[in-house]
Chain A
Amino acid sequence: MYRLGIDLGSSYTKGVLVDENNRMAAFHCVKSGYNFNNASSKIIAHFKENFEIAEPIYTCGYGREQIQVPFVSNSELIALSRAVYEIYKCSCSIIDIGGQDTKFIRVNALGQVEKFKMNRKCAAGTGSFLEEIAFRLDVTPNEFTEFAKEATHEVKINSFCTVFAISEIIGMIKNGATLPNIILGIYNSIILRSFELSLIEDHLVITGGLPAMHPTILNLFKQRYPDSDCPEHSQFLAAYGCVLLNSGK
């Protein structure tokens, strides 16, 4: 019998199965779309094909209460912190970059959240920022990584606003800037926004869908924080933490 944690995020719904030893056993991710019930149903149906799942389901994220089976909802920040602490067992700072949110969390030596901060009401610096720019430039988000490898130097993106960032980029292209250099600039603008949330004073752990899908972001973090780390399956950690928070209850 496996326990299931589901993180119903703004862009993607992530499910993780946890075995009796509190280890992550299987993963599945679908687009959240407009109906969180559908998204969570797809996750549950996927796992039920091969596994026996215990109820309740443990949830977090924007759609945490939109699920048609018995559930226990949790704060995604507390859940993420719990999962990261399970892996590292020490105090650390977490930067999580998701579809609409960028979060900073400081976890103390006991695994408790000491401080946290989320981005303002603005998508710049989140996954949506990158997706929108990719759409406008007619480049798939996956191609971003390949382009970034060809960059010779970074072009600075100054606009705070996604829409005006695109206007700025169009102006840069007109003035001869290359797409690889612009893409490197976009990646840099994302991580700089995350540094505005708080000072990083200890071991940095990077999580979330964006860094998981864009290794360039991790490389840029490492340039500034060589000891920073991104655990495997980092976009599934909040879902994993939901189960851990409730284990033993």
Chain B
Amino acid sequence: MSEKPIQEKSDLVKLRSVNDLRRTMDDYFARLKEAAETRCRKVAWCTSVGPAELLYSMGFEVYFPENHGAMLGAGKNADKYIPTAVAHGYSPDICSYLTSDIGAFLQNETPLQKSGFSAVPRPDILVYNTNQCREVEDWFRFYARHYNVPIVGIHTPLCISDLNSELIKSVSDQYHRIIPELEKVSGRKFDMDSFKETVGLSHDGCVLWKQVLQKAKNIPSPINFFDSAIHMGPIVVMRGTKHAVDYYKILLAEMDERIQNNISAVPVERFRIYWEGMPLWYKLSNLAKLFAKLNTCIVASTYCNSWVFDDLSADDPFESSALAYSKLFIVRSDTVKETVLEQLMQEFTVHGIIYHESKTCARNSNNRFGLQNRLFKRTGLPYLEINGDLNDPRCYSEEQSIIAIETFIDQLSGNLTSR
């Protein structure tokens, strides 16, 4: 490991691509706004790992409530809205993306108002995939009832070990089954060539995103988890479009440039950590600064790696979509997850792993069934568990977590010294 400072500047160096990111995201929201206001194109709401390619290929503008939830969290507003959803019968223990999003809706507020929206764009149809969790269906049903619009979904089996042909066929068949409703709403016939092209673009965008993330294998890493959590925006909301492909070419070029010029994501990279679990959106900046101060780079994460759907193939768009979206980490068995994590920890040369147990997101909290102990036995790499939440800051004890993180880095420091 490099212990010598490679940058004179003590602050974190911002990625230059952030300006292109802003423009790419602004353009996306402008297209959504135009569709919502002029009704020139239909609007579909989609879950973050739902069938976005199918929707884009049929001419929909696609809006992602989870992206909106993350915006509420990052804007430190979730706790203003969650109580409203709770008062309407939604438990504070369920997904805080859901409760903050529905709470904001019930209060007629959205961060999109800063971009000129009067409200979130009205859906013509809601489309979900339960691969990530079943709560997304309940979330979307709230809006289906409110707007009185159709809702269709794909139900993916949970805890998948074996991605066998029956399972892939079952998911692929569900893709086919939602098409008639999409045709009805869009007023447009499904076009195989268009779907193939969209799936091809999605594949290309995912491969570029994967290449960006893999640049963190370099020592020191040119990018950290806190950067990636922001720069993943286009792969979440524009998967299947040229916009995402274009953006990740820019970001990838900057990664190469950083490596060439020995510019690291944190000024001094002494420790390399894997992050398991959701980001704490309301503390992204604080945590980025804390880890930088501790000469630590979070080089890889399950969360950011989850949007790498490189199994997508334009040659076989239905089957490959079914495979890619069922191969997703969150929907796999613990046995598969352990193998994936072990491999990533090796590939990225990490010294340890931090598990964020998110109070309201059981599916993204992988330390609840003993995985952390089993993985420790396999890798011998130390781990830390911190308790918090993706969006609800009331579930997070910052001082206690800082002490735990500092102690963990001291622990790693002791381990390095003894080697």
Residues in A lying within 8 Å of B, measured CB to CB = 62, 75-78, 100-101, 110, 112-118, 120-121
Contacts and interface: CB of A to CB of B under 8 A. Distances in A.
A115 B406 contact: no
Contacts of A116: 404, 407-408, 411
The 6 lowest CB-CB distance pairs between A and B, nearest first, are A121-B397, A75-B407, A112-B414, A77-B407, A113-B411, A78-B410
B341 to A, nearest CB: 18
A60 to B, nearest CB: 9
A77 B403 contact: yes
B411 A76 contact: no
13 contacts: A62-B399, A62-B403, A75-B403, A78-B407, A112-B411, A112-B414, A112-B415, A112-B418, A113-B410, A114-B382, A115-B382, A116-B404, A116-B411
Given A62-B403, A113-B407, A121 B414 contact: no
Contacts of B418: 110, 112
Interface in B242-266: none
Interface residues of B, number: 18
Interface of B: 382, 385, 387, 395-397, 399-400, 403-404, 406-408, 410-411, 414-415, 418
B387 A78 contact: no
Contacts of B410: 75, 78, 113
Contact of B404 (A62, A114, A118): A118
> Among the interface residues A113, A114, A116, A121, which one has the most CB atoms of the partner chain B within 10 A?
A121
A121 B411 contact: no
A101 B403 CA distance: 11
B405 to A, nearest CB: 10
A121 B387 contact: yes
Nearest to A116: B407
A126 to B, nearest CB: 11
Given A75-B406, A75-B407, A76-B403, A117 B414 contact: no
Contact of B400 (A78, A114, A115, A118): A118
A101 B399 CA distance: 11
A110 B411 CA distance: 13
A121 B407 CA distance: 17
A121 B404 contact: no
Given A112-B414, A113-B411, A121 B400 contact: yes
A226 to B, nearest CB: 26
Contacts of B406: 75
A112 to B, nearest CB: 4
A77 B403 CA distance: 9
Given A75-B406, A75-B410, A113-B414, 10 more contacts: A62-B403, A76-B403, A76-B407, A78-B407, A112-B414, A113-B410, A116-B408, A118-B400, A121-B387, A121-B400
